[in-house]
Structure 1
Amino acid sequence: MDTDVLIVGAGPTGLTLANELRVAGVPAVLVDKLPRRSALSKAGGVQSRTQEAFDQRGLLEPLLATGNHPIGTAHFAGITLPLTRDRHRRPWRSVPQVVIEGFLEEHLAAQGIHVRRDHELTGTTQDGDGVTATFASGGVIRSRYLVAADGGRSTVRSLLGAEFPGRPGTATVVAADVRLSGDDQAMTHTRSEDGHWASVFPLGTDPQGRPLRRLSLGGPGRSLPREVPVTEDEIGEGLRAVFGPRVQLLELCYARRITNAARQAARYRHGRVFLAGDAAHVHLPIGAQGMNTGIQDALNLGWKLGAAVHGWAPEHLLDTYHTERHPAAAAVLRNVQAQSLLMDWEGTGDPDLAAAKDLFAALVRLRDVQYHLDDMLSGMGIRYPMPGTENQPLVGLPAPDLDLGPVRSHELLRRGRGVLLDPAGRFAEVAARWQDRVHRAGQGADTEPMLIRPDGYVCWAGNADDLEPALVHWFGEPR
C-alpha cells in the first residue's frame, strides 16, 4: 500500500477528513485535480455543530482568528428566527469557504500533510485488500480505502456507476460575492411585487476591511443556462428590480449560476470506497447547510476509518457511516426543498405560495417552532440511530460541553479517542480493558456517566449493565 486512505478532493470535506485521520494516527494522501486552491466560495456560513466539532479538535479559535467573522441570525426560507440567537454555545457565523479551506490546508501542512495538486483521477479498481487509483499523469496510488470528496460532479461516483437519484436542476439563479451600497449588515430576503427577489447576508470583510456580502438574485426571466457568464449589468438590473435605487453594486468579486438540483447517492459505501460531501448529496445552498453537511460526513467517517486501519473496528462500524449520515443529508434536502418552495425560488408569483408563506411566517413567531427549526438548521438536532436511543434521551445526540474541573469535556476529544465520563468512579475496571481506545475522565464532576465517541456523539448513558455492550459495539473487543 502507498497509503492507508486516499482522499480525492481538497475542499472542506476532504481537508476535514485528512485532519481527522491525522488525529487518529492514520496515514492518508489528499489529492485534487486543481493546480491551485480555488478562490471561489460556494458557502459562507458555519453551523453551531460544526463549530463545536472544530472546537473539539482545537481548531475553532485559530479559525475565527483569521479575520472578521460576524455572528449571524438563523433563518428559514428567508424568515429570521430571532429567538434562537443565543440558544447554543457556538452561534452561527459567517466564515467563507475559501477561508476555511486555506486555514485547514495550512494547518495540515504544518503537520507535514500536503495536498497533491494537479492530480486528475481517471480510474479506480478495488479488490479485497484495497483500491488502486490511476491519474491522468500516469501516476498510480494504492490505498486500503478511498474517499470521494470531489464535489457534485464527482469523478469517483461516476467511475463507480453509483446511483445518484433525485431531481435535476430546472432553473438557475445568480450567486455572487459583492460590495453593496445602502444595505445593512443583517441577513435579508426581499421580494418585489412582480416576483423578483434578492437574498443578502454578510461575509465579513475583504482584505481592505470593507464589508462583503453574499448576494443571490432570482425571479421571472432570470433563469439562464449555467454556462452563461454573470455580468455586472445583470446584477445591477436585478438589484434595481428588487430594491430600486437605494441599493447599488460597488464591486463584483465573483459570481456564478446555481441550480435547484436535489440529488443524493443511494449508497455512501461501495466496498472500500466511500462518498462524502457533495459527492454524496447536492442541493440549493440555502441556510449554509451544504458545506456543513459535508464536514459532518468527514467527522463521522474519519474515526471509523481510523478504527478499521488500526484493526479494532467491529465488523459493522464502517456501515454505520451510511446508516447515520444518509438520513441526516436526506433531512437537509427535504428542508431545503421546502425553503425553496416558500421562497418562490423560481419567481412564479403564485398567490397560493404567497398565502402559504404568510401562514408559515405567522407560525414561526411561536417559540417552539423557532426552536425546532433552529435545531434542524444548526446541526444540533441530529440524533443518530444507535442502541440506547429508545430509552436514553442523550444517546445519539452531540455530547454537552461539561466542566470537569481542570478541563472541559470537549477538550478531551482532541486526542481523537472515545471518552468515558465516570463521575462516581464506578467503571475503572471495565474501562481499563479499552484504555487504548477510550479515555476515562470526570471523576468527581457534577455530571451523569456517559460514553462519547471520538466524533463527539453520546453512544451510552445511564444503565451500567449496558456499558460493556456499548464499548464492544463502538470500540470493538477489548485487547
Structure 2
Amino acid sequence: MDTDVLVVGAGPTGLTLANELRVAGVPVVLADKLSQRSTLSKAGGVQSRTQEAFDQRGLLEPLLADGNHPVGTAHFAGITLPLTRDRHAQPWRSIPQVVIEEFLERHLAAHDIHVRRDHELTGLAQHEDGVTATFASGEVVRSRYLVAADGGRSTVRSLLGAEFPGRPGTMTSVAADVRLGGAGQAMTHARSEDGHWVSVFPLGTDTRGRPLRRLALGGPGRSLPRDVPVTEEEIREGLRVVFGSRVELLELRYARRITNAARQAARYRHGRVFLAGDAAHVHLPIGAQGMNTGIQDALNLGWKLGAAVRGWAPEHLLDTYHAERHPVGAAVLRNVQAQSLLMDQQGTGDPDLAAAKGLFAALAELREVQYHLDDVLSGMGIRYPMPGSDDQPLVGLPAPDQHLGPVRSHELLRCGRGLLIDPADRFGEVAGRWRDRVDRVGQGTDAEPMLIRPDGYVCWAGDPDGLRAALGHWFGSRNLL
C-alpha cells in the first residue's frame, strides 16, 4: 500500500478527516483536483457542536484567534431564535468556510501533511485488501481505505455507481460574499410585496477591518441556470427591489447560483470506500448546515478508520458510520426543505404559505420551540443509537466538558483516545485491559462517571455492570498484555 487512507477532496470534510487520521497515528494522503484552495465561502458559520469538537482537538482557540469571528443568533427560516444565544458553552459563530479551510490546511502542513493538488481522480477499483485509485496524471495510489469528500458532484460516487436518490433542483438563487452600505450588523431576512427576498448574514471583517456579509437573494424571474454568471447589476437590482436605496453594494467578493436540490446517498459505505460531506448529502445551503454536517461526518468516521487500520476495531465498528450518520443527514435535508418552504424562496406569494409562516413564527416565540429548533441546528441534539441509550440519558449524546482537577475532559480527548472518567476509582482493573486505547482519569473529583469515544460522544454512563460490554463494543477485544 502507498498509504492507509486516501481522502479525495480537500474541503472542510476532507481536511478534518485528514486531521483525525493524523491524531489516530494513521498515514493519510489527501488529494484534490483544484490547483489551489478555493476562495468561495460556501458556508459562513460554525455550529456549537463543531466548535466543541475543534476544542477537543485543541483547534478552537487558535482558530478563533485567527480573525474576527462574531457570535451570531440562530435562525430557522429567517426567524431569529434569541433565547438560544447563550445556551451552549460555544455559541454559533461566523467563521467563513474559506477561513476554516485555510486554517486546517496550515495545521496539517505543520504536521507534514500536504494537499496533493491538481489530482483529478479518473479511476477506482476495490480489492479484497484495499483500493486502487488512478488520477488524470497517470499516478496510481493504493490504499487500505478511500474516503470520498469531493463534493456534491462527487467523482468517487459516480465511479462507484452509488445510488443518490432525492429531488433535483427546481430553482436557483444567488449567494454572494459582499460588502454592503446601510445593512447594519444583525442578520436580516426581508422580502418585497411581490415575492422578491434578500437574506444578509454577518461574516466578520476583512483584513482592513471592514464588515463582510453573506448575501442571498431570489424571487420571481430570478431562477436562472446555474452556469449563468452572477453580475453586480443583478445583485444591485435585487437589493433595490427589497430595500430601495437604504442598502447598497460596495464590493462583490464572489457570487454563485445555488439550487434547492435535495439528495442523499442510499449507503455511506461501499466496501472499503466511504462517502462523507456533500458527496453523501446535498441540499440548499441554509445556516451552514452542509459544512457542519460534513465536518461531523469526518469526526465520526476518522477514529473508526484509525481503529480499523491499527487492528483493534470490532468487526461492526465501520458499519456504525452509516448507521449513525445517515439518519443525521436525512434530518438535515428535512429541516432545510422545511425552511426553504417557509421562506418561500421561489417567491410564489402563496397566501396559504404566508399563513403557515405566520403561525410558525408565533410558535417560535415559545422557549420550548426555540430550544427544540436550537437542538436541531446546533448539532447538540444529535443522539446516536447505542447500547445502553434506552436506560442512560447521557449515552449517545456529546459528552459534557467536565473539570477533572486542573484539566478539562475536552482537553484529555486531544490525543484521539477513548476516555473513562472514574471519579470513585472503581474501574481500574476493568479499564486496565484496554489501557492501550482508553485513558482513565477523575479520581477524587465530583465528575459524572462515563466512557467517552474519541469523537467526544458518551458510550457508557452510570451502570457498573455495563462498562465491560461497552469497552468491548467500541474498543474491541481487551488487551491481555
For 1:8, the equivalent position in structure 2 comes to: 8
State the match for 1:468 in structure 2: 468
Q: RMSD across aligned C-alpha pairs, in angstroms?
A: 0.5
Pair 1:214 & 2:192 matched = no
Structure 1 counterpart of 2:439, one-letter code = H
What residue identity is the alignment partner of 1:145? Answer: Y
2: CA distance, partners of 1:303 / 1:34:
27
Q: What is residue 389 of structure 2 aligned with on the other side?
A: 389
Query: Where does 1:30-429 land on structure 2 (aligned, <5 Å)?
Result: 30-429=30-429
SS class of match (1:245) = coil
Structure 1 position 207, deviation (Å): 1.4
Aligned to 2:403, what secondary structure does the other structure show?
coil
The residue type equivalent to 1:297 in the other structure is: D
**Partner SS for 1:141:** strand
SS where residue 198 of structure 1 aligns?
strand
Amino acid at match of 2:83: L
In the TM superposition, residue 267 of structure 1 has moved relative to its aligned partner by: 0.1
| 2:415 paired with 1:441 | no
In structure 1, what is the Cα distance between the partners aligned to 2:442 and 2:350?
Answer: 57
Q: Deviations over 1:333-359 (max 9, x none)?
A: 000000000000111110000000000
Task: Figure out how many residues of one structure are paired with residues of the other and give that number.
Answer: 479
Identity %: 85
Task: Report the alpha carbon displacement of residue 445 of structure 1 after superposing the two structures with TM.
Answer: 1.2
1:30 shift after superposition? 0.2
CA distance, structure 2, for counterparts of residue 189 and residue 42 of structure 1: 19
Amino acid across the alignment from 1:378: S
Matched residue of 1:246: which SS? coil
Q: Which amino acid aligns with 1:336?
A: V
**3-state DSSP of counterpart to 1:263:** strand
Aligned partner letter, 1:463: D
CA distance in 1, matches of 2:173, 2:87: 32
1:432 corresponds to which residue? 432
State the Cα deviation string for residues 368-404 of structure 1 (Å, max 9, x = none): 0000000110000000011011110000000000011
Task: Give the TM-score of the pair, scaled to structure 2.
Answer: 0.99
Quote the offset at 1:110 in angstroms.
0.3
| Displacement of 1:66 | 1.0
Residue 362 of structure 1: CA displacement? 0.3
The aligned residue for residue 24 of structure 2 is: 24
Match for 1:45: what amino acid?
Answer: G
Deviations 1:5-51 (A, max 9, x none): 00000000000000000000000000000011111110110000000
Deviation at 1:287, TM superposition (A): 1.5
Q: Give 1:382's aligned amino acid.
A: I
Instruction: Write the letter of the residue equivalent to 2:73.
Output: T
| Deviation beyond 2 Å, 4+ runs, structure 1 | none
How far apart in 1 are the matches of 2:109 and 2:233?
41
How far residue 444 of structure 1 moved from its aligned partner, in angstroms, is 1.3
Q: Which has the higher mean CA deviation after the structures are superposed, 440-449 or 331-340?
A: 440-449
SS in 1 for 2:468: helix
How far does residue 288 in structure 1 lie from its aligned partner after superposition?
A: 1.4
TM-score (norm 1): 1.00
Residues 232-286 of structure 1: CA distance to partner in whole angstroms, max 9, x if unpaired? 1000000011111100111111000000000000000000000000000000111
| Structure 1: unaligned runs, 5 residues or longer | none
Cα separation, 2, equivalents of 1:391 and 1:345:
43
Per-residue displacement from partner, 1:424-476 (whole Å, max 9, x unpaired)?
00000001000000000111111221000000000000110000000000000
Distance 1:269 1:84 in 2: 35
CA distance in 1, matches of 2:60, 2:361: 34
Consecutive unaligned residues in structure 2, runs of 5 or more: none
Deviation of 1:206 (Å): 1.2
